[in-house]
Structure 1
Amino acid sequence: MTVARRTALLGGLGLLAGCSTSGYQGDERAVTVAAGENGGFYLAFAELLAAQLNRAEPRLRCTPMATEGSLDNVRRVLGGQADLGLALADVAQAATGGLRPFGSRLPLLALGRVYENYLQLVVRADGPVRTLAELAGRPVSLGASGSGASVLGERLLGQAGVRADVRNLPLLEAVAALGARSVDGLLWSGGIPTPALAELNDRTRISLIPLDPVLPALRRVYGPVYEQVLVPAGAYRGVGALATIGVANLLVCSPSLPDEVAAAAVRVLVNHAADLVPAQAVGTQFLDVRTLIGTSPVPLHPGAAASYRALHG
């Protein structure tokens, strides 16, 4: 996102981390955050968010929930099994627009744009694959069936014209399969570095495949929800800088979330942004308060919008 667009999105909100905050005033309430898989960035972020929310709002009892990822989270939030959830912007866009894999338009709302995801196509450094095209006919994991990576992975292969032997493995199973050479690649959408991938790299040297050549085709079909991002050199030991596809991660909820809970979550996002970056990602990931309201095409929850306005004044 450009600086100019960020400024426009803020619309003069001028979010100030030092603003005063009024605490949650309701009865004690449990709040569940549908997060992601063990070994991934989603769950680590949700654990920090829950800890900060519990500290800032003593009447809320927030707990993170391990899930398969974005698709799973949207379904849990709208089905009432979770209060908050993390979802890739393309999955959230599909939900509100009634696109595949959702069958109708769903009333999903957002509390904030929290960080950038990096689409990572991981292969063994000593393996046979060096380009996306070389995955043709080879086994590759596109992520768990409930993950956002599975949605983007199908779109990626479709736009690239690559017919691979697709598996839908959870992250830790995919990591084990790549280490055992039972798949030739795994696709993951998450923060940089992803802990499970960094641990794999310590045992079995990995490489990342550049994916930016497919970006123009994806944008023509699905719009600007996809952006080019740069994986910095050394994010994984021995892996150089390369361009890939980025997609924002949103903190989402249903319309039934009470305004007071939405406002409490926003106050934590704004006032504790620096405390919401998992330790392994400090220096490569950050939560930018200037872009929190940039959740389009998913509308902000009314309680979140009111909280942003209150923090401005």
Structure 2
Amino acid sequence: MTAPRPAAPSIERSLTLHLRGDWGMANLHRVCGWIAQELTDRTEPGSRIAIWNGRGFADSVRAAGHRLVDVALATPAAFAAAAIDGRGIYGVEYFPQLRALGVVPQRDRLVVGVHRSLGIKTFAELRERAPRLTVATGKLDGINHVGLAARALLDRAGVDIAGWGGGYLDDERPAEAFEHIASGRANAIVQEAVMLPQWQRFGGDLHFLEVEPDVLAALEAEFGWPAATVEEGYFPGAPAFRTLDFSDFLLCTTTELPDDVAYAIAWILGETRLLLEQQYRHLTPERSPVTYPLDPVAMGRTPIPLHDGAARYYNALPDHESGATTGDYA
């Protein structure tokens, strides 16, 4: 006998909500558009939902925490956990009232690559030879999670970019870093978005360095950043290696969001997921910016506490949904 589905929401009032996504043309904005459409359909006429652009990093976490918006999307999901108890960049300003509505699964990694011409395959060799590196990565501005994680990883791995005579090329989005590598302006890269096709074009020119276990353990202990595996052959000619997990889009809110709205958004994530999935099915799951098939049970596993309203939806689910796995694809 099929288990009953969680009850569909019906909000008998008009809503005015503010959502925050990404720069405007990437995946977080697409998720916001999906939620805005489906939520409006389940409220009284006159509802208005605005989508504000942002960067999708610590700015989203802070925007939700300060209630500048009602819901904000941030990636990677695990990086928001530090905002609950004031670790890392949230040491001065943290948000114990922060809550999650769910995650949109997106299997991603932060990887470290150095040009093959340097002949360096491990961090031990990198420290021994101390080459002059020009590293393409994210901005170090207290907001960009790529720039933050890149510096933290390299520092704990004993890599002294400036001391070895090198420097950084800091940019906001991965595409800009890709161009630095492709053009030869950079001979090393620390970046995410590993599913994008640019990696397949220049990845064969790089050695991808496995992050040492003690470094991964230190990053998890200090910041709550988990590790993950990139499987053999995911990049051209590359062996399997361990590195930082950079997965999942987290929907952040606070305890102030009404319970029925939180429930409705969680229900939309789980019960109308095919509307989002179909926008990515021209890509294989392991090369898609959203890792489908979406599993509602997995979507309720969040690195910060669930909002009570959202928890009501996930707690009503059967133990197994779509059959999707949450293990490493890469």
Going from structure 1 to structure 2, the CA distance change for 1:104 and 1:204 (only over 3 Å counts) comes to closer
Report the equivalent of 1:22: 9
CA distance in 2, matches of 1:52, 1:62: 9
Q: CA deviation at 1:205?
A: 4.6
Question: Contact 2:104–2:299 (CA<8 Å) still a contact in 1?
Answer: yes
In structure 2, the residue corresponding to 1:142 is in which secondary structure?
Answer: strand
Structure-2 change in CA distance of 1:202 and 1:157 (3 Å): closer
Deviation, 1:282, is 3.8
For 1:210, the equivalent position in structure 2 comes to: 210
User: Are 1:114 and 2:104 matched, yes or no?
Assistant: yes
Under a length normalisation based on structure 2, what TM-score does the superposition of the two structures give?
0.71
* Residue 35 (str. 1) matches residue 22 (str. 2): yes
Superposed counterparts of 1:46-125, under 5 Å: 46-48=29-31, 50-51=33-34, 53-55=36-38, 57-58=40-41, 59=43, 65-82=52-69, 83-102=71-90, 103-106=92-95, 107-115=97-105, 116-124=107-115
Q: Secondary structure at the match of 1:173?
A: helix
2:61 maps to a residue whose letter is V
1:124–1:205 contact (8 Å) kept in structure 2: no
% identity of equivalent residues: 22
Choose 1 or 2 for highest CA Rg.
2
Shift of 1:264: 1.9
Deviation at 1:125, TM superposition (A): 5.4
Aligned length: 287
Pick closer, same or farther for the CA change 1:86–1:202 going to 2, 3 Å.
same
CA RMSD of aligned residues (A): 3.5
Matched with 2:326 is: none
Superposed displacement of residue 97, structure 1: 1.4
Shift of 1:26: 2.8
CA separation in 2, counterparts of 1:154 and 1:306?
39
Listed one character per residue, the Cα deviations across residues 160-219 of structure 1 (whole Å, up to 9, x for unaligned) are: 1111234431123222222222222222234x40x3xx1364367553333354323333
TM-score under structure 1 normalisation?
Answer: 0.74
Q: Select which of 184, 189, 201 maps to 1:186.
A: 189
Q: Do 2:83 and 2:94's aligned partners in 1 also have CA atoms closer than 8 Å? A: yes
1:301 aligned residue (296, 300, 307): 307
Structure 2 unaligned spans of 5+: 162-166, 319-330
State the Cα distance separating 1:232 from its structure 2 match. 3.9
Going from structure 1 to structure 2, the CA distance change for 1:204 and 1:104 (only over 3 Å counts) comes to closer
Deviations 1:111-162 (A, max 9, x none): 1233243122244555665444538542223313322222222221122111
Unaligned runs of 5+ in 1: 1-15
Give 1:245 shift: 2.3
Is the CA contact (8 Å cut-off) linking 1:226 and 1:246 kept in structure 2? yes
CA contact (8 A) 1:156 1:218 kept: yes
Secondary structure (helix, strand or coil) at the match of 2:153 reads helix
Cα pair 2:199 2:235 within 8 Å, conserved: no
* Alpha-carbon distance in structure 2 between the residues aligned to 1:275 and 1:236: 30
Give 1:110 deviation, angstroms.
Answer: 1.0
